[in-house]
């Protein structure tokens, strides 16, 4: 099982050392009013690893992803992403880190006034200005092919299924060749076959691009398929972190209840 | 309420900083100029035409009573250009554009599209709010000219049915004694209306919460507050213009 780090790095941006974790969450806490959703959460994720974060609804899993991408700030603790503390960095530093991260939102969050092709091209238009239009079109075409949506570029998000929207969201998240991939409930609302297809796609992308990935999910089967490690959260804390076998061997009542309920 | 104004002030400052720092979102600005300006043209032209007709008919009956029907062209033209054209344009645009911006940005907010823009390391205030506000500021004076043109034209048409008069004579009589301060300041005060409409509706949209209800509330409050602030601004600006150009 993974040991929780005791480091107290709260400085701003630091150069990422070779072998250092791409994501280093250090005792992060977050409350909304009187409700504490994250209570001293710590873990690390290196390139090539996929950490699945599971837990009951309302245990702060999605808030954790939002803190990592910098959409929310923790009340205390540090979110060191590629050497930058997202809680304390400047807007420019946060933007720089974000260009190295891809985020798949729970409902894909596609821009509904843009076509599929324009959605995937969006990060390239804003961050790869040196790219010619034909190079950008080729890149978008390659990305859509990679997620199995070749030829769908002219469709609008409202005209495609939920599973296809997730694939477009994935393609958009990969547009800038990120080092880190964050997925918020990638199989939520999908039928079992579509869920399996998304799992296979995420696994393939992870193996090809050696990303540091965090997947927030309720789907134990999905977690077992794509994750190298699983962190189970309850009441804002990580109850257990390790492989699926470690979870099965655990004596913790909550872990047993969670596993058996899922199965 | 104080909290609302404080948050609005913070939003305005943030958007202003975003608007003046590169990279500039020129493509989005042009797109919004078309959406806000060009697509409001028919409605504003129609409203201006209606105002011109109504003014001509109402003013004629009053002026005849006082034996001053020769003042009809000047009454119609001055009323349209100095006040009715600008305020009607402001209210029409706050209804059409205010609701559109408020609803669009609110829908983007509740479906996490604005978060997705931010997660893509693009400043949503620069891309969405600043472009719309700048487009409103540019479009309002241009649309006011449209409303004034059609108001004068249709005012002449209505007048011709009451007392036949050529367009040339109508315009010459109407503009007799007019000067710069009668026309340009009232037209450019609509830049302030545009800033109000763009700012209030962008703010309401980008702060929306609560799904479909939140979208509806954002659209409604955008229209109501924009219209209210446009009217209040008109009261203040009329006084300011009269002070600066006595």
**How confident is residue A170, by pLDDT bands cut at 50, 70 and 90?**
very high
Inter-chain contact A126–B120, Cβ cutoff 8 Å?
Answer: yes
Q: Which of A87, A53, A83 is nearest to A70 (CA)?
A: A87
* Interface test mutation site (partner B, options A63, A70, A72, A103, max chain B beta carbons within 10 A): A103
Q: How confident is the model at residue B225 (pLDDT cuts 50, 70, 90)?
A: very high
Residue A159 lies in a domain: yes
**In this structure, is residue A169 part of a structural domain?**
yes
Query: Is 60 exceeded by the pLDDT of residue A12?
Result: no
Is residue B5 assigned to a domain?
no
- What mean pLDDT comes out for the span A208-236? 90
Higher local confidence (pLDDT), A51 or B162: A51
Asked which of A125-134, A171-180, B142-151, B177-186 is least confident by mean pLDDT, the reply is: B177-186
The answer to whether the CB atoms of A111 and B112 lie below 8 A apart is no
Task: Decide if A140 is inside a domain.
Answer: yes
Report yes or no on B4 lying in a domain: no
Residue A125 within a domain: yes
**Taking CB atoms and an 8 Å limit, are B119 and A99 in contact across chains?**
no
What does the mean pLDDT of chain B come to? 93
pLDDT digit string, tens, across residues B93-133: 999 999 999 999 999 999 999 999 999 999 999 999 999 99
Residues B44 and A205: their CA atoms lie apart, in Å, by 53
Contact B111 A107 (CB under 8 A): yes
In chain A, how many domains are there?
Answer: 1
Name the more confident of A220 and B100: B100
User: Which residue of chain A comes nearest to B118, CA vs CA?
Assistant: A71
Strand ranges for chain A from DSSP E? 23-32, 35-45, 50-55, 76-81, 84-85, 101-104, 180-184, 212-216, 229-234, 237-242
* Cβ neighbours of residue B196 closer than 8 Å, sequence gap 6 or more: B94, B226, B229, B230, B233
Angstrom distance (rounded) from CA A121 to CA B35: 22
Segment B196-216 mean pLDDT = 95
CB proximity list for A234: less than 8 A, separation 6 or greater: A55, A56, A59, A254
Nearest residue on chain B to A178, alpha-carbon basis: B120
A223-233 pLDDT, tens digit per residue, is 989 999 999 99
Interface test with B, best of A111, A120, A133 (most B CBs within 10 A): A111
Which residues of chain B lie closer than 8 angstroms to A94, CB-CB? 121
Query: How many CB pairs (< 8 A) connect A and B?
Result: 48
A160, part of any domain: yes
Cβ atoms of B119 and B158 closer than 8 Å: no
Q: Is residue A145 part of a domain?
A: yes
User: Average pLDDT, whole number, for chain A?
Assistant: 87
- Which residues of A lie inside 8 Å of B (Cβ-Cβ)? 66, 69, 71, 94-96, 98-99, 101, 103, 105-107, 109-112, 122-123, 126-127, 129, 172
Determine the structural domain holding residue B79 and report its residue range: 26-244
For chain B, how many structural domains are there in total?
Answer: 1
Residues of A102-138 as b/e, b for ≥16 C-beta within 10 angstroms? bbbbbbbbbbeeebbbbbbbbbbebbbeeeeeeebee
Q: How many Å apart are CA B78 and CA B89, to the nearest integer?
A: 16
Report yes or no on A93 lying in a domain.
no
Domain assignment present for residue B131? The answer is yes
Can you tell me the distance from the alpha carbon of B199 to that of B191, in angstroms, rounded to the nearest whole number? Answer: 12
Least confident of A15-19, A20-24, A234-238, B71-75: A15-19
Q: Using CB atoms, which residue from B23, B112, B121 is nearest to A109?
A: B112
The pTM of this model reads: 0.88
pLDDT at A235: 87
Q: Please determine, for residue B184, whether its predicted confidence score (pLDDT) is greater than 70.
A: yes
Strand order in the sheet with A76-81: A35-45, A23-32, A76-81, A84-85
Residue B234 lies in a domain: yes
Domain that holds residue A154: 110-177
Listed range (A171-180, A219-228, B48-57) with the worst mean pLDDT: A219-228
Residue A261 confidence class, pLDDT cut points 50, 70, 90 = low
Q: Is the pLDDT of residue B51 over 50?
A: yes
CB contact under 8 A, A109 and B118: no
Subunit contact A112:B116, Cβ cutoff 8 A:
no
Q: Using one digit for the tens of pLDDT, what is the confidence trace for A37-85?
A: 999 999 999 999 999 999 887 778 999 999 999 999 999 999 999 999 9
Measure the CA–CA gap between B123 and A85, rounded to whole angstroms. 20
Asked if the model's pLDDT at residue A178 lies above 90, the reply is yes
Q: How far apart (Å, rounded) are the C-alpha atoms in residues A171 and A102?
A: 9
**Cβ–Cβ under 8 Å, residues B15 and B105:** no
Min CA distance, B190 vs chain A (Å)? 29
Query: Shortest Cα distance from B93 to chain A (angstroms)?
Result: 22
What's the pLDDT at A192? 87
Q: Does A99 map to a domain?
A: no
Among candidate residues B112, B104, B107, B117, the one with its CA nearest the CA of residue B32: B104
pLDDT of residue A1: 37
For chain A, counts of helices (H) and of strands (E): 9, 10
Given a cut of 80, whether residue A189 has pLDDT beyond it is yes
Cβ-based contacts of A109 with chain B (< 8 Å): 111-113, 115-116
């Amino acid at each position: 099982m993974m040991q929780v780090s005791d480091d107290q790095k709260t400085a701003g941006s630091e150069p990422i050392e070779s072998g250092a974790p791409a994501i280093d969450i250090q005792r992060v806490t977050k409350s909304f009013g009187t409700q504490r959703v994250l209570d001293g959460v710590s873990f690390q994720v290196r390139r090539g690893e996929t950490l699945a974060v599971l837990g009951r609804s309302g245990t702060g899993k999605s808030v954790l992803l939002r803190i990592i991408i910098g959409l929310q700030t923790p009340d205390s603790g540090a979110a060191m992403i590629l050497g930058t503390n997202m809680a304390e960095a400047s807007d420019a530093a946060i933007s720089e880190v974000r260009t190295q991260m891809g985020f798949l939102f729970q409902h894909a969050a596609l821009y509904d006034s843009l076509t599929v092709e324009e959605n995937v091209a969006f990060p390239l238009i804003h961050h790869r200005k040196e790219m010619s239009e034909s190079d950008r079109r080729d890149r978008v075409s390659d990305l859509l092919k990679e997620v199995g949506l070749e030829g769908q570029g002219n469709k609008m998000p409202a005209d495609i299924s939920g599973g296809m929207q997730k694939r477009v969201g994935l393609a958009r998240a990969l547009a800038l060749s990120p080092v880190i991939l964050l997925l918020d409930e990638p199989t939520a609302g999908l039928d079992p076959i579509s869920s399996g297809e998304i799992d296979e796609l995420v696994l393939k992308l992870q193996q090809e691009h050696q990303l540091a990935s965090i997947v927030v999910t309720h789907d134990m089967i999905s977690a077992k398929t794509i994750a190298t490690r699983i962190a189970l959260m309850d009441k804002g804390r990580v109850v257990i972190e390790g492989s699926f076998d470690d979870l099965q061997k655990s004596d913790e009542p909550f872990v047993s209840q969670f596993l058996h309920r899922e199965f | 309420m104080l909290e609302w104004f404080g948050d609005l002030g913070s939003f305005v400052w943030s958007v202003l900083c975003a608007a003046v720092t590169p990279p500039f979102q020129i493509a989005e600005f042009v797109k919004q100029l078309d959406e806000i300006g060009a697509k409001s043209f028919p409605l504003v032209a129609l409203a201006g035409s209606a105002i011109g007709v109504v003014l001509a008919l109402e003013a004629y009956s009053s002026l005849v009573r006082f034996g001053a029907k020769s003042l009809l062209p000047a009454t119609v033209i001055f009323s349209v250009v100095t006040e009715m054209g600008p305020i009607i344009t402001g209210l029409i645009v706050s209804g059409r554009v205010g609701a559109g911006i408020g609803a669009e940005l609110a829908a983007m907010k509740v479906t996490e599209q604005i978060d997705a823009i931010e997660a893509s390391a693009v400043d949503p205030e620069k891309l969405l709010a600043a472009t719309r506000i700048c487009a409103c500021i540019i479009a309002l004076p241009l649309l006011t000219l449209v409303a004034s043109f059609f108001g004068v034209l249709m005012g002449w048409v209505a007048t011709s049915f009451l007392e036949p008069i050529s367009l040339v004579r109508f315009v010459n009589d109407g503009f007799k004694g007019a000067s710069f301060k009668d026309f340009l300041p009232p037209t450019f005060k609509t830049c302030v209306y545009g800033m109000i409409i763009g700012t209030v509706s962008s703010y309401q949209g980008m702060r929306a919460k609560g799904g479909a209800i939140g979208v509806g509330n954002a659209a409604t409050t955008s229209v109501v507050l924009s219209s209210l602030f446009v009217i209040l601004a008109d009261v203040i600006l009329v006084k300011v213009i009269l002070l600066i150009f006595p």
